[in-house]
Amino acid sequence: MKLWKKILIVFVCLLLLIQIPFIYRRYELGRLSENIKRLNSEKEENPLITGFDEYKGVIHVHTSLGGHSTGSFEELIPASQDLDFVLMTEHTSALFDTSAQTLKGQYGRTLFVNGQEVDTASGDRFLLIPGHSDSFKDAKLQTDAFIEKYKAQERLILVAYPERLKSLQADFDGIEVFSLNTNAKKMNPFTFFFDALWSFRCCDRLLLSKYFMRPDSNLKLADELARKKKLTIFAGTDAHSNIGFHLLGDDAGNKLFYLKFDPYERIFSLMRNHVLIRKGEPLNEQTLLQAVKDGKLYVCVDVWGDPKGFSFTANDEKTMGDEILIGQEPISLKVSSPLEGQIKIFRNGEKIFETFGKYAEFQATERGAYRVEIYLSSLGLTQMPWIISNPIYIR
């Protein structure tokens, strides 16, 4: 046999050999999908009534208005119809006010709020919701001046990319502890290419979610800050609808063999923010932004299971974002989960209690910021919490 034939055979054998883990992964994802269906079929109504209605939606979304996104309103609106709200965060432009031109108001069942993503001269990056016509030129302001200006106008100011945050003491409202975009950048492209080759057709969403990792350092930062002040933990989609490839195409958008990994609809189905608004109050821009500001929110990997009915309460009267004063008696923290999981309670970032099931109760005797993480450990999903709550503050 000629040498080149031998080399070719060895090469083909090697290529086949390295497929084995990815083929096994395809098998595992199929099993996981079945197990998720089974677990969700055992869902129970939540026994704890907290007096709130729950709304689900996404925060941190771009369209082509602000550059480096190919997303259009035509794609975005239909992709959002499973959501109650979308907080837009367009990049700013020197030429026009992107907040005035992006979506605002009700489109179908979904409420849009016209925010922007803004840099400051201090090197920090914020989501300003709603946005403002000054926001492009306000990139010259230092963070404190920026926050002072927009707090006076009662706009929501959330930290994006907390790993780059310099002004730790600034008076922002919340922190993006998990970013789908940041997580995607950490994915190994070689592994993902072969994973996608085998598993994307059957389980695209589940495959993407298997790459989620608990954002340890961002949670640590949020826990550290929550010791001193109230702030909201949330997840950002940072959706741009711009990751993909095509073989042939033209400027009119005609593309041959076009594969897009991050269309809005797919990205919006993976992880959402669930916001609590007091029963009887409508969902509108004002009530929504107030609830986010107040920390009446939890983050969930929705593709693993519908969390509706999750609750975290203190003495059956307070919930996430609330403060409660401690006296002689301990404070009873209760967690209820619609799906069975590993429930962990943290105080100031330190895990103080852990149990498996749908229900947990802990008697708190110390002051601190208490929050919850739930892991679907029976499905082997231990690298990333299914639910991350906002804190209850015991003072």
Which residues would be at the binding site for Zn ion (CB under 5 A)? 117, 238
SS3 348: coil
CA distance 237 to 126: 14
Pick between residue 116 and residue 337 the one whose CB is nearest to Zn ion: 116
- The 10 Å Cβ neighbour count of residue 352 is 15
CB 240 to Zn ion: min, Å: 7
Give me the residues paired with residue 351 across strands. 346
H/E run at residue 314: strand 311-314
First to last CA, the chain: 80
Nearer to Zn ion by C-beta: 51 or 123?
Answer: 123
Smaller CB distance to Zn ion: residue 117 or 294?
A: 117
The answer to whether the Cα torsion of 294, 300, 306, 310 is positive or negative is: negative
Q: Which is nearer to Zn ion, 32 or 76 (CB)?
A: 76
Nearer of residues 117 and 119 to Zn ion, judged by Cβ: 117
Q: How far is the CB of 55 from Zn ion (least distance, A)?
A: 22
Q: How far is the CB of 139 from Zn ion (least distance, A)?
A: 15
Widest Cα–Cα separation across the chain? 87
- For residue 237, the minimal CB distance to Zn ion (Å) is 9
Euclidean distance between CA atoms 134 and 138, whole angstroms: 6
Give the residue with the Cβ less far from Zn ion, 131 or 321: 131
Separation CA 61–CA 85 (nearest Å):
11
Query: What is the CA 352 to chain-centroid distance, rounded?
Result: 25
Distance CA 129, CA 300 (A): 22
Using the minimum distance from each CB to Zn ion, give the nearer residue, 242 or 355.
242
Give the shortest CB-341-to-Zn ion separation in angstroms. 31
**Chain residue at closest Cβ approach to Zn ion:** 238
Q: Identify which of residues 128 and 207 has a Cβ nearer to Zn ion in the complex.
A: 128
Amino acid in position 174: G
- Taking the complex as a whole, the smallest distance from the CB of residue 62 to Zn ion amounts, in Å, to 6
**What does the alpha-carbon distance between residue 114 and residue 299 come to, in Å, rounded to a whole number?**
21
Between 180 and 314, name the residue whose CB sits nearer to Zn ion.
180
Nearest distance in Å: CB 94, Zn ion: 18
| CB-nearer residue toward Zn ion: 242 or 348 | 242
Scored b (16 or more CB within 10 A) or e, 200-233 reads beebbbbbbbbbbebbeebbebbbebbeeebbbb
Q: How many CB atoms lie within 10 A of CB 191?
A: 13
Encoded tokens for 170: 């600034």
In contact, 118 and 92? CB cutoff 8 Å: yes
- CB of residue 260 vs Zn ion: minimum separation in angstroms? 18
Contact 359, 344 (CB under 8 A): no
Please state the closest distance from residue 246 (CB atom) to Zn ion, in A.
24
Which phi and psi (to 5°) does residue 247 adopt?
-85, -45
In whole angstroms, how close is the CB of 283 to Zn ion at the nearest point?
24
